[in-house]
Structure 1
Amino acid sequence: MREQITLTESELSRVIEMAWEDRTPFDAIQMSFGLSESDVIDLMRKEMKKTSFKMWRKRVTGRGTKHSALRDPSITRAYCPTQYKNK
């Protein structure tokens, strides 16, 4: 049996945001929050409306940028350098 991971509301929000981002691979979510791809899928299923979940699953299934094994090996970052701007 797998260990249950408890997330704060802020962490939960960030995981959902990362899952929606096209260029953030599931591996980055696992490194940051300890959630596997299947954990993220379960979380998204639980937290989203059914239609939103189906739309998200359709978008990420087979998407090269969400799966490190399908990703161009020259890409080593999880997000665009301009995504997080300093204030």
Structure 2
Amino acid sequence: MMAWEDRTSFDAIRTQFGLSPGDVIKLMRSEMTANSFKMWRKRTQGRTTKHEAKFAKTDSGNEQRRFRAKSQRG
């Protein structure tokens, strides 16, 4: 769920679950249909909000970051 959300970075997923971006991509590929996976990859590839280092360089880099999807418990 966190990987599907655009505002949650791969770094936050690594911190919380210990999954590298490559592991997340493999998981998404196995859990999604081919078309859904292609749409997700197209949407996340090069996106600044999915990478903390790129996000910090933008004008909005001082915004509070989300570490959980709305539907995630805890």
- Band the TM-score falls in, shorter-chain normalisation: 0.7 to 0.9
Q: For residue 30 of structure 1, what is the aligned residue in structure 2? A: 14
Q: Cα RMSD between the aligned structures? A: 1.8
Distance of 1:77 and 1:64 partners within structure 2 = 13
Cα deviation for residue 64 of structure 1 reads 0.4
- For the pair shown, the structure with the greater C-alpha radius of gyration is 1
Structure 1 residues 64 and 77, CA, compared in 2 at 3 Å: closer, same or farther? Answer: same
Q: Work out which structure has the larger RCO, using CA pairs closer than 8 Å and 6 or more positions apart in sequence.
A: 2
4+ residue runs of structure 1 moved beyond 2 angstroms? none
For normalisation by structure 1, the TM-score amounts to: 0.68
Q: For residue 78 of structure 1, what is the aligned residue in structure 2? A: 66
Distance of 2:46 and 2:26 partners within structure 1 = 17
For normalisation by structure 2, the TM-score amounts to: 0.79
- In structure 1, stretches of 5+ residues that fail to align are 1-16
Q: For residue 4 of structure 1, what is the aligned residue in structure 2? A: none
Q: How does 1:6-85 map to 2 (within 5 A)?
A: 17-72=1-56, 73-78=61-66, 83=70
- In structure 2, stretches of 5+ residues that fail to align are none
> Is the 2:12–2:67 contact (alpha carbons within 8 Å) kept by the matching residues of 1?
no
Cα deviation for residue 58 of structure 1 reads 0.2
Q: How many residues align?
A: 66
Cα deviation for residue 74 of structure 1 reads 1.5
